[in-house]
Amino acid sequence: MIFAEIHASRLASQPALQGQEPIELTVVVPTFNERDNICPLAERLRVALSGISWQVIFVDDNSADGTAQVVKRLANDDPRVMCLHRIGRRGLAGAVLEGVMASAAPVVAVIDADLQHDETILPGMLGLIRSGEAELVVGSRYLTPEGLDTGLSPMRLAGSRVATWIARLVLRAEVSDPVSGFFMIRRDLVERVAPRLSSQGFKVLFDIIASQPEKLKIAEVPYAFAERQAGDSKLDGRVVIEYLGLILSKLTRNVVPPRALLFGIVGSTGLLVHFAALYLCRWLGLTFIISQTLAALTAMTSNFLINNQVTYRDRRLKGWRLFTGYLRFCALCGLGLVANVAIADLVHQVTPLWWLAGASGAIFGAIWNYVGTSLAVW
């Protein structure tokens, strides 16, 4: 009896035609620890999108703060709300992509959960796509003077400016905010490039534009970037390096994988570790041979641990697999060293340029280490 009443009242509170009218717009919201932002955002979407047949898919990477549970509670009351609850995975780009792929609507929008993006411009964006004026509409922070002085710290603003500048250079497209996390696009345009998109990093929009076989019709709608309401930003130094890695990858037409840059940077920190360890061993009075061996082992170990923590954060090895992975890493890097010396020696036999020989060996060794460990360790 009570159940029937609840059921009836729930039906009454539902949007009239839900389930009969096809959904025109799917709003994809990637979330990671955004518990307190879910209900306010859903409420704002309801208001902004009244009169449109829409749904929202929250893609949550099993946030520890219980974001997914909040979304599911909401979904019980409103069938337009859905939760894509991902386990054992992390990453903004991958989350956005999965949300888009889960949609059957002709148009999808992507918006941050933290209320920094202005949802009231969504109907205007949809209008541009409906009319065929645009295939992709980007919410842009840079078109209004107000857009500039809210939300971002001076440091973030400068970083964002540089990222935008590089992206425009690479894309050769006239987009004032190509790294925006707020945009709307025809779903088929994402699906056709989906296999080529990177699931790492933050720059989903950049990747979607860069991967298109033909030039897209792009429109921009200005909005003012707001202050984050609750929770913390997940954009950190690693995200920036990943972004540079992605650009490098696009510039080389996917020859250099996005992770390679990060792997290379970690590799160079190994050099510092090596010299620090060597200095310490010498200071302790160990012989040079012993010191150099210990230093190399220390550098290799620190490289392994940092790569496991940072470069391969999404595939991090733990427990017993951390140990076997470490052994494999050392074996491969050892082989890489032998190949490095052999190649350098070969080159040295045909040219007197010692630095060219050295660099050839080092580059071969680095590629070997990257490819080998990415296949056999992570």
d(CA 162, CA 115): 24
What track of x and - describes contact with ligand GDD for positions 182 through 221 (by CB under 6 A)?
--------------------x-------------------
| Strand partners for 56 | 27, 81
What track of x and - describes contact with ligand GDD for positions 85 through 104 (by CB under 6 A)?
-----xxx--x---------
First to last CA, the chain: 55
d(CA 367, CA 375): 12
Q: Name which of Mn ion, ligand GDD, none residue 61 binds, using a CB cut-off of 5 to 8 Å depending on partner kind.
A: ligand GDD
> Which residue in the set 31, 200, 249, 291 belongs to the binding site for ligand GDD (CB under 6 A)?
31
Identify the three-state secondary structure at position 58. Answer: strand
**DSSP H helical ranges for the chain:** 2-13, 35-48, 67-77, 92-102, 122-130, 145-148, 154-171, 187-191, 204-211, 237-251, 258-283, 288-306, 319-350, 354-376
34 lies in the binding site for ligand GDD (CB under 6 A): yes
- Token readout for 146 is 């107000």
Q: Name which of Mn ion, ligand GDD, none residue 91 binds, using a CB cut-off of 5 to 8 Å depending on partner kind.
A: ligand GDD
> Which residue in the set 116, 199, 303, 360 belongs to the binding site for Mn ion (CB under 5 A)?
116
d(CA 377, CA 315): 10
> Which residue in the set 27, 30, 200, 274 belongs to the binding site for ligand GDD (CB under 6 A)?
30
Kindly state the number of chain residues that form the binding site for ligand GDD, as judged by CB under 6 A. 22
Q: Least distance to Mn ion from the beta carbon of 157, Å?
A: 14
User: What angle is formed at CA 343 by the lines to CA 342 and CA 348, rounded to 5 degrees?
Assistant: 100
User: What angle is formed at CA 347 by the lines to CA 346 and CA 351, rounded to 5 degrees?
Assistant: 125
37 lies in the binding site for Mn ion (CB under 5 A): no
> Which residue in the set 60, 98, 114, 135 belongs to the binding site for Mn ion (CB under 5 A)?
114
59 lies in the binding site for ligand GDD (CB under 6 A): yes
> Which residue in the set 56, 60, 138, 190 belongs to the binding site for ligand GDD (CB under 6 A)?
60
What track of x and - describes contact with ligand GDD for positions 148 through 187 (by CB under 6 A)?
------------x------------------x-x------
Eight-state DSSP code of residue 307: I
Asked whether the beta carbons of 201 and 248 are under 8 A apart, the reply is no
- By beta-carbon proximity to ligand GDD, the closer residue of 239 and 330 is 239
d(CA 360, CA 341): 9
Q: Name which of ligand GDD, Mn ion, none residue 220 binds, using a CB cut-off of 5 to 8 Å depending on partner kind.
A: none
- By beta-carbon proximity to ligand GDD, the closer residue of 114 and 118 is 114
- Token readout for 42 is 């859903």
d(CA 123, CA 269): 49
113 lies in the binding site for ligand GDD (CB under 6 A): yes
Task: Write out the residues near ligand GDD by the rule CB under 6 A.
Answer: 30-32, 34, 59-61, 90-92, 95, 112-114, 116, 160, 179, 181, 202, 233-235
Task: Write out the residues near Mn ion by the rule CB under 5 A.
Answer: 112, 114, 116
